[in-house]
Amino acid sequence: MTEPLVINREGVDALISTLIDRGYEVVGPTVRSQTILYDTITSTADLPVGIRDRQEAGTYRLENRGDDALFGYVVGPQSWKKFLAPPGTVFWRGLRTEDGFETVEAEEPPSYAFFGARPCEVAAMKIQDDVYLPVGDGIYTERRKKSFTVAVNCTQPAATCFCKSVGTGPDVSEGYDIALTEVLGGDQHYFLAEAGTDSGVEVLSGLMARDARDEEVVTARRLVVHAADYMGRTLETGGLKELLYANLSNPYWREVGDRCLSCTNCTMVCPTCFCSTVEDRQALDGSSAERARTWDSCFTLDFSYIHGGPVRSSSSSRYRQWLTHKLASWQDQFDSIGCVGCGRCIAWCPVGIDITKEAAVIRERDIRKVAIETPAVKEAVE
């Protein structure tokens, strides 16, 4: 794309205002209930200025950084799917007529500007595109088409982050309109601003931005490289699909199942999870009906219900479904791994189940390995 520009905090404010002027509803990180949540913002004052997050398995805390960083944290429990596939969206309305019924289109969705989308989230949106766009899903497609993305490259990963392992960060390479990298240190506080699309170029050109100096670019890039080296966790992805497919009957699933509460937190916070259900409602007098789509989770007991009972009745079978879908079957379905390494599921699991650890244990206790290592089989093989 174009050469990197530099703006300061005022420039960021101007960016937000420009987007609002262009008719976008600008949504970005805010602090509420001691959590970073995505909501409407009108200026940088709405952002979690000087806030850092401390995340670990089953743990999420915010604390003061003691500085003025606008983006000194990573991700909270929400992701942009909150806006692209909002729970409870009515996507179909019907009116009873003399002949039967007729359908009516649902309302026009707003145009969103996603402000402060992390590289893992940008990757998650691309992954969800592969789920919703080929099917022509109205709800998602409309909102996605109209959206504008201002990404923020990460310079300080959380302990739960592992975007490096799955190749989704800590910086964006595609799928954004504008990417910002915040540099704060000593007496400098600037933002490297790079356009990723023509819209991005156009928006940036309206701001008071100057060309970045070489050392400014180097400093910004170095922060990102440093972040890559400082990842809290890793996920070993080599042969992951074959590993998980081969271990569907591994007894280890029962161990995880015993810990898992099937609370569905992980699926709610996961930026790529897309399972949904429909609610058909009728007016009391039967004159009209509507269908709404709402989020669902493969962890619920009746998710797989057929003929009097669920197919996956044990919590271990449901955990296995989620993990193998996310890391293995997703690859056959959508040609990519379903996980972006954001670490939300680890932080927001009340019992601290860690997807990177579980995958590692399965790898260690791979039943294919064990089969070869028992003495009788070893002898036969030799």
Partner 1 sequence: MHPVPCRVRSVVRELKDTFTLDVEPPHNGWEFAPGQFTMLYAFGVGEIPISISGDPNDPSRLVQTIRAVGPVTDALTAVSPGDTVGVRGPYGSAWPTEFAEGGDLLIITGGIGLAPLRPALLEVLENRDRYDNVTLLYGARSPGELLFADELQEWRGRFDLDVLITVDHADRTWRGPVGVVTSLINRASFDPESAVAFVCGPEIMMRFTIQDLERKGITDHRLHVSMERNMKCGIGLCGHCQFGQHFVCKDGPILSCAEITDTFWIREV
Does 328 bind partner 1 (CB under 8 A)? Our answer is: yes
Q: What share of the chain is helix, strand, coil (3-state, %, to 5)?
A: 35, 25, 40
Which of 60, 73, 114, 274 contacts partner 1 by CB under 8 A? Answer: 274
Query: Which listed range, 93-101, 157-165, 198-206, 225-233, lies at the site for partner 1 (CB under 8 A)?
Result: 93-101
Render the burial of 114-134: b for 16+ CB within 10 Å, e for the rest.
bbbbbbbbbbbbebbbebbee
**What residue has token string 């009745």?**
313
Which of 3, 45, 107, 135 contacts partner 1 by CB under 8 A? Answer: 135
Q: Which is nearer to partner 1, 101 or 174 (CB)?
A: 101
In the complex, least distance from residue 163 CB atom to partner 1, rounded to whole angstroms:
24
In the complex, least distance from residue 273 CB atom to partner 1, rounded to whole angstroms:
8
Q: What are phi and psi of 254, to 5 degrees?
A: -65, -35
| Rounded Cα distance, 265 and 295, in Å | 12
Q: Which is nearer to partner 1, 128 or 156 (CB)?
A: 128
- Amino acid in the structure at residue 219: T
In the complex, least distance from residue 145 CB atom to partner 1, rounded to whole angstroms:
16
In the complex, least distance from residue 42 CB atom to partner 1, rounded to whole angstroms:
34
Q: Up-side HSE of residue 56: CA atoms within 13 Å toward CB?
A: 2
| Rounded Cα distance, 102 and 70, in Å | 50
Q: What are phi and psi of 232, to 5 degrees?
A: -70, -30
Over the window 278 to 317, marking each residue x when it contacts partner 1 by CB under 8 A and - when it does not, the resulting string is x-xxxx--x--x-x----x-x----xxxxx---xxxx--x
**DSSP assignment of 205-261:** HTS--EEPPHHHHHHHHHHHHHHHHT-S-----TTHHHHHHHTTT-THHHHHHHH--
Q: Which is nearer to partner 1, 226 or 281 (CB)?
A: 281
In the complex, least distance from residue 118 CB atom to partner 1, rounded to whole angstroms:
24
Query: Which listed range, 35-43, 68-76, 129-137, 165-173, lies at the site for partner 1 (CB under 8 A)?
Result: 129-137
| Rounded Cα distance, 263 and 296, in Å | 12
Q: Which is nearer to partner 1, 55 or 324 (CB)?
A: 324
The size of the chain, in residues, is 382
Over the window 224 to 263, marking each residue x when it contacts partner 1 by CB under 8 A and - when it does not, the resulting string is ---------------------x--xx--------------
Q: Which is nearer to partner 1, 262 or 329 (CB)?
A: 329
Which of 21, 99, 364, 379 contacts partner 1 by CB under 8 A? Answer: 99
**DSSP assignment of 357-376:** HHHHHHHHT-HHHHHHHSHH
Q: Which is nearer to partner 1, 289 or 360 (CB)?
A: 289
Q: Which is nearer to partner 1, 186 or 308 (CB)?
A: 308
| Rounded Cα distance, 305 and 313, in Å | 9
252-259 vs 355-364: helix crossing angle, rounded to 10: 160
**What residue has token string 């579980």?**
358
In the complex, least distance from residue 270 CB atom to partner 1, rounded to whole angstroms:
12
| Rounded Cα distance, 329 and 324, in Å | 6
Q: Which is nearer to partner 1, 7 or 298 (CB)?
A: 298
Which of 137, 201, 221, 263 contacts partner 1 by CB under 8 A? Answer: 137
Total of residues contacting partner 1 (CB under 8 A): 48
| Rounded Cα distance, 78 and 35, in Å | 10
Q: What are phi and psi of 165, to 5 degrees?
A: -60, -35
Taking only Cα atoms into account, the Rg of the chain, rounded to an integer number of angstroms, comes to 23
Q: Which residues bind partner 1 (CB under 8 A)?
A: 91-92, 94, 96, 99-103, 131-132, 135-138, 245, 248-249, 274-278, 280-283, 286, 289, 291, 296, 298, 303-307, 311-314, 317, 321, 325, 328-329, 332-333
